[in-house]
Amino acid sequence: MTPAEPQIERGAIEPALAEEFPSLTLLYCVIAARAGRSPRAVRDQLKHLSDRLYGERAIKMRREPVAHAYRVFFRHIGLDPDESRTPAEALVVERLRAGRFASGGLVEDAVTIATIETGAALRAIDAGAIDGKLGLRGSRPGERLGGGAGMPLPAGTIVVADRRRPLCPLFGELASISDVSRASRRVALCAVGVDGVPSLVVEEGLWKCATIIAAES
């Protein structure tokens, strides 16, 4: 049976953010998924990507249009892309360090494959932790990551949030409650678009990630 097309939603962008970054977008879809071991077909895809990606390719990658656009956006929000690496670059650096793309389970591997193949900034969130729709906004004074006793957030940090609380900084670590685990049964796959990244790239990354998971779950 062919997996159903993922239903992609557009996250709300806080007006102040939309004014400052008119091209900033958040697309996401919620799908059934289990975060268990990747099947052989997915692990083979990871191995193929590992074999294709050498040091020279990694060095050139940051000058490619999509990668460069994310690096520029990082600087605009106060992140040094050589210190806090963009999603695709972080994966490439880890591949070079480890000598391969190590399998981390179906959801993580699908995010890795889709990120490397399209360049889109992707992440997965445990949908069971989400209350309402997702969107992007600035964190408020005194807010903590995930609410409750989570890590304090500097006011104005751009976060992915539901209607009650911030779930993660835009390009930072997830709150523990939002992390995909073996207990997860649904995941929200998120893709971030910025100025200079074509919308088709963002949509393709999200679609590719979702279909890898749906085909194997």
For the stretch 70-89, pLDDT in tens is 999 999 999 999 899 999 99
Pull the structure tokens for residue 30.
């919620």
In the sheet that 12-13 helps form, which strands lie side by side, from edge to edge?
12-13, 135-138, 158-161, 166-169
Q: What is the pLDDT, as a whole number, of residue 4?
A: 58
Model pLDDT for residues 164-217, shown as the tens digit of each residue: 999 999 998 876 767 888 888 899 999 999 999 999 999 999 999 999 998 776
Q: What is the pTM of this model?
A: 0.92
Q: In the chain, count of helices (H) and strands (E)?
A: 7, 8
Tokens coding 37:
């071991």
**Cα–Cα distance for residue pair 122/193, rounded to 1 Å:** 10
One-letter amino acid of 173 = E
Does residue 169 contact residue 153 with C-beta atoms inside 8 Å? yes
CB–CB of 17/159 below 8 Å? no
Q: If pLDDT is split at 50, 70 and 90, which confidence band does 145 have? A: confident
**Alpha carbons 175 and 145: distance in angstroms, whole number:** 6
Q: Which of 54-58, 151-155, 182-186 has the highest mean pLDDT?
A: 151-155
Which amino acid type is present at position 25? T
Alpha-carbon span 199 to 193, nearest angstrom: 7
In tens, the pLDDT along 91-143 reads 998 888 888 999 999 999 999 999 999 999 999 999 988 999 999 999 999 99
Residues 173-212, buried b or exposed e (16+ Cβ, 10 A)? ebbebbbbeeebeebbbbbbbbeebeeebbbbbbbbbbbb
Q: Which two tokens stand for residue 158?
A: 């751009």
